[in-house]
């Protein structure tokens, strides 16, 4: 069985390795670098810079812990560190593919009339034969139709990760994951940050209690967050840009050194020429079912290019599912256990239903909240900022959703995802002994709080 994969990001390379494990002859077509946007210009470099920024901020604030130090930022060295992490992981992916005997083809894939798959490479155009095809083309930044967007001060997320120096000021268009992580990053490095979000709130995928806590925390650090804010125009003014905004019917002006456009992403399928193959799509989002199958037999689409959940871990999960189904198995994608993670300071994460969603669906639910100010490890790590919140069904007390903000929230959400996937009840969490002192024990306390029996905080 010959399986061909288009795209070497976290969906594509995982699909390639899984298909090889199942005995397929696998070819992977990649026009850029292995690892895709996530590894080269997204998840990994962002988190590397965020780690450096967090360390920088902690050392600057070390006096409250009795750690006295003179500290300065060498941003060029920080960028070198980031590049080293990326290089090591890219080499790791390359090594895994080679060990799995996956043939990597450098070039750009596209459908030709009649549905043939062609590859434009350094030596011209060739046909790519396959028995089964997995499309993992990824996504590209969305560019909002704002007059002046072409000025040199405007950058996208890739540009924000490649800056040679820390800008004195930055306007971020978009209060989603990318926008808020960049706000946290450059605020910690010393930039004056303004976030402009069109919706009523930032990070709409998270529970409202979590976003309110994050907004308060970032505001305390000097980040200005404007919601229901529309950027009307941007203008080049030499070393700065002038941004004209409308916020709640009032016009505001901001002069900043950089404008980061973080208004979401869209599938990177334009060059694939989907219509030539007869692939069903909606404005470039390839339609798939829960088995990752498209409308064409033997053709699958995973990750950002199907537009379902634009997260690297979702793409990887879908990659395994597509590979298994291509090789005769029967696997299905279950998005209910997919966690959302935001690597701000403090970190945010959530899985399952938010309280707003439970309310909209008319579910009979109860909640339990535990403040991290009552958790010893959190108090040590970040002064106790944050909380853990659990939403459970009132009758059976099964966990419908869990939401976290605080130290290591993006790691701790794995327990919550497992609980949601297993339809665990709060009693099963309570019956599991959690180590002390850890942030994780706060999850058990939140489960206790659902029953109004938390030990280390007052039950309301």
| Residues classed as catalytic | 436
- Helix spans in 254-363 (H): 274-277, 312-326, 355-360
> In angstroms, rounded to a whole number, what is the distance separating the alpha carbons of residues 173 and 167?
16
- 374 exposure class (CB count in 10 Å sphere: 0-12, 13-18, 19+): middle
**3-state DSSP helix/strand/coil percent for the chain, to nearest 5?**
35, 25, 35
Angle between the N-to-C axes of helices 43-60 and 75-99, in degrees from 0 to 180, rounded to the nearest 10 = 140
> In angstroms, rounded to a whole number, what is the distance separating the alpha carbons of residues 415 and 402?
10
Residue 435, SS3 per DSSP = coil
> In angstroms, rounded to a whole number, what is the distance separating the alpha carbons of residues 280 and 3?
21
Q: What is the DSSP letter of 429?
A: H
Question: Do residues 212 and 386 lie in contact, with contact meaning Cβ atoms separated by under 8 Å?
Answer: no
Question: Do residues 224 and 212 lie in contact, with contact meaning Cβ atoms separated by under 8 Å?
Answer: no
> In angstroms, rounded to a whole number, what is the distance separating the alpha carbons of residues 255 and 236?
10
Hey, how many other C-beta atoms are within 10 angstroms of the C-beta on 34? 22
Residue 91, SS3 per DSSP = helix
Q: What is the DSSP letter of 63?
A: G
Q: What is the DSSP letter of 257?
A: S
How many helices (DSSP H) and strands (DSSP E) are in the chain?
A: 14, 25
Where do we find the tokens 């010393």? Answer: 190
For residue 293, what are its two tokens? 């199958």
* Helix H or strand E encompassing 389: strand 387-393
Hey, how many other C-beta atoms are within 10 angstroms of the C-beta on 200? 8
Torsion on CA atoms 142, 144, 149, 150, rounded to nearest 10: 40
């Amino acid at each position: 069985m010959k399986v061909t994969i288009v795209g070497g990001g976290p969906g594509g390379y995982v699909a390639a390795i899984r298909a090889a494990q199942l005995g397929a002859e696998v070819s992977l077509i990649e026009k850029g670098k292995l690892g895709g946007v996530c590894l080269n210009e997204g998840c990994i470099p962002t988190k590397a810079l965020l780690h450096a920024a967090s360390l920088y901020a902690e050392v600057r604030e070390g006096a409250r812990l009795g750690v006295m130090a003179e500290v300065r930022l060498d941003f060029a060295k920080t960028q070198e560190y980031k590049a080293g992490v990326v290089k090591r992981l890219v080499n790791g992916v390359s090594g895994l593919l080679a060990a799995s005997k996956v043939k990597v083809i450098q070039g750009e894939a596209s459908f030709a009339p009649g549905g043939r798959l062609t590859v434009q490479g350094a030596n011209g155009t060739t046909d790519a034969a396959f028995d089964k095809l997995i499309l993992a083309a990824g996504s590209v930044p969305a560019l909002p139709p704002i007059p002046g967007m072409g000025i040199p001060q405007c950058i996208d997320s890739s540009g924000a990760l490649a800056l040679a120096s820390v800008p004195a000021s930055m306007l971020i268009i978009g209060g989603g994951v990318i926008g808020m992580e960049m706000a946290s990053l450059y605020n910690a490095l010393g930039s004056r940050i303004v976030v402009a979000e069109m919706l009523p709130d930032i990070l709409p995928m998270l529970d409202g209690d979590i976003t309110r806590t994050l907004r308060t925390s970032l505001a305390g650090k000097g980040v200005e967050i404007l919601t229901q804010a529309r950027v009307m125009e941007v203008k080049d003014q030499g070393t700065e840009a002038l941004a004209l905004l409308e916020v709640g019917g009032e016009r505001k002006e901001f002069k900043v050194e950089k404008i980061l456009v973080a208004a979401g992403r869209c599938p990177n399928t334009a060059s694939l020429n989907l219509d030539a193959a007869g692939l069903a799509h909606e404005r470039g989002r390839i339609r798939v079912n829960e088995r990752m199958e498209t409308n064409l037999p033997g053709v699958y689409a995973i990750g950002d290019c199907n537009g379902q959940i634009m997260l690297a871990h979702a793409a990887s999960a879908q990659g395994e599912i597509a590979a298994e189904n291509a090789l005769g198995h029967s696997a299905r994608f279950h998005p209910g256990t997919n966690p959302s993670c935001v690597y701000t300071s403090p970190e945010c994460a959530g899985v399952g239903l938010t309280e707003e969603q439970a309310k909209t669906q008319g579910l009979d639910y109860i909640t339990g909240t535990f403040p991290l100010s009552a958790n010893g490890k959190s108090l040590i790590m970040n002064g106790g900022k944050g909380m853990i919140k659990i939403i459970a069904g009132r009758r059976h007390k099964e966990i419908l959703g869990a939401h976290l903000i605080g130290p290591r929230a993006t790691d701790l959400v794995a327990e919550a995802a497992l609980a949601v996937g297993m339809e665990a009840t709060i009693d099963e969490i309570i019956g599991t002994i959690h180590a002390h002192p850890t942030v994780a024990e706060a999850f058990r306390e939140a489960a206790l709080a659902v029953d109004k029996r938390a030990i280390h905080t007052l039950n309301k």
